[in-house]
Each structure stands twice: as C-alpha cells, then as structure tokens.
Chain A
Amino acid sequence: MELLSIDQERVTAEWIDGVSRSLQGRISKAEVDRELRELYGALVDGLRAGDEDARGDGFSEVRALLTELSRNRARQGFTPSETAISVLALKQALEPALRNGSAEDTTAYLRLARILDDLALLTIEAYTRTREQIISSQASQLMELSTPVVKLWDGVIAVPLVGTLDSARTQVVMEKLLQALVDTGSEQAIIDITGVPAVDTQVAQHLLKTVVAARLMGAECTISGIRPQIAQTIVALGIEFGDIVTKASLADALQHALRRSGVDLVTRQDGGR
C-alpha cells in the first residue's frame, strides 16, 4: 500500500507505458491511460481497506473494472496474454521502487504480487467467459440462419441445406421440415444438399432419419443436389439410401415431386411464342 502511493505518478506512467507497448497501438494511449488510472485508484482504495484477498469485498470495485476491461479486450479480438498483461505489467513497473527499498517493502511487494496474480487470473476468466458467450451466440445465429424451409409449389416444400450437418442442426432441420409439412399440408418434401461440403456415414444417418420421420407423417421425401464427388464418397462408404428417391439436381427433384403429386409439366408446341 505504501509502495503504491509513494511514487504514484512514475509507477502509473510506467505501467501505462508497458501495457500500451504490448498492445502495439491497437488501443489509443489515452484510452489505456484512462482505464489504468481508474484501475489504479480502485486498487489503492482496495489496499487501503486492508483486504488481503483479491476475491474479498475490498476489491469488488477492482474486479468490476477488470471484468469490464477484459470483456472489451475479448470483443476487440485481443489474445488472453495481451489482456492479462494489463494487470501483470504493474508488477514490472513496481520493481525499480524495490531496488533501494527496505525489507519491509519487499514483503509488501510480495503480498501485492500475490493479489495481482489473483486479479490476472480473474481477468483471464472474464475474458474466456466473454469469448464463450460470443461463440454460443454465434452458433445460435448460425442455427437460425441456415435452415429455411421454402415452398416450391402447392404441396411441395424444400429445405436447402448449407454447411456441415451435425446432430444439433439435423434436429433443427428435422423439426422445421416436419412442422412445415403440417402447416402447409404438403405431401412432398425435397432436401437439397448442394451446399453440404461432405457426406460421411453420420451425415447420411441424419438424412435418413429425417426422411423416415417425414414418411411417418405421411409425406414423401426426395434428396437432391448430390454432387459427383459426393456420390462417389457415398458409394465408397457403402451407405445405403434404400428406397429413398435421390436426384442429381433440385430441378429433377421438383419434377419428380410434381409428378408424384399429380401435376404434369407440358412444353407448349409453339415454343413459348
């Protein structure tokens, strides 16, 4: 506590210097200055309250500031070390004060160092939590984005699948498709896998499940958009699609679905004139 207040100006300046150097100018020095000065003030207050534990009440202000700081760093795409250095650089800044200090100073420094280490851990924790929040929110956005069910014709609906299929996504696709079957009263469904980059046994399993579920509800399901390489992979893996109708393109699948629902497509004799 003494240690922090003796040479306050110099220590803060050095700290700010150290931090902004490690951030390589990706945050303006003025901003770092403001953040760290606030933090410094809170830290001194906490120490003055006589708390020894970084998770104690005296440091709640410090913790709030640090959480905010690491949250911002995580959003701006900094690495965990760049975030933690904001705390740890203070230790370096304090070192010069030790050189001509007494044994008492050293003990105080060690105590402070322990608190700072704890705070650095807190920073990392907050950083990770924020990153996880970002990831999970992105995942759910992706889930919503990637599964539209479109109506192609009266009684014919299609799901264009884009991206890799996993169990969670198949579940969403399946639910949406089946609900759409009920809502629109469609008897024909087309699953288009043009946008699926790879098909392995698991993806095939998921597709089969969806088709069987649609059948149980009384609808016919066609799989379309099987690219040449995918057809080769499917055969090489020995996946059996059984009696499920598969078509190369969505157009073929639509034609098949229309024929099954009793619609005939006729090209006019005069060539459309």
Chain B
Amino acid sequence: MTLAELRRGQKAIIKDVSSVYIPLKLLEMGCLPGNSAELVQVAPFADPMYLNINGSHLAIRKETAMHIIIETTDE
C-alpha cells in the first residue's frame, strides 16, 4: 500500500520511495526505505497529511504520499 492510505494512529515502515517523484529534500528529512512512518493528523479532506517519519514531524500532500510505498506494522 502507499503512505496515502495510512490511517490515523497506524504505524508503518517505508519500503520504497520513487526517486522520480520524490524530491531529495523529502529524503533528507528522513523519508527513506527502512524508516518508520506514522500518521499524526489529517487536514480536512485528508490533505495534507501530518506525519511522524523517522522521528521527524512533517506535513506533505497526498499526491506526494502516493509515491511512497509502505508496509504496516502491527503492535
């Protein structure tokens, strides 16, 4: 599944990041394969998404999140 489908409170591990669509800046902020991702809050219409990625809190748009492949982890 992609990051865009993550629900609030759900935790996931990033599996793949498409370097064609994702700018270097987002990678530098920790959005890399192997790192954790969690949805903190969504704005109205579920866009943008407020995420905790690898301990960094950041917000990105849904269209960007669609290019990040994740796998949910159950705890």
State whether these chains interact: no
Residue numbers of B with Cβ under 8 A of A are none
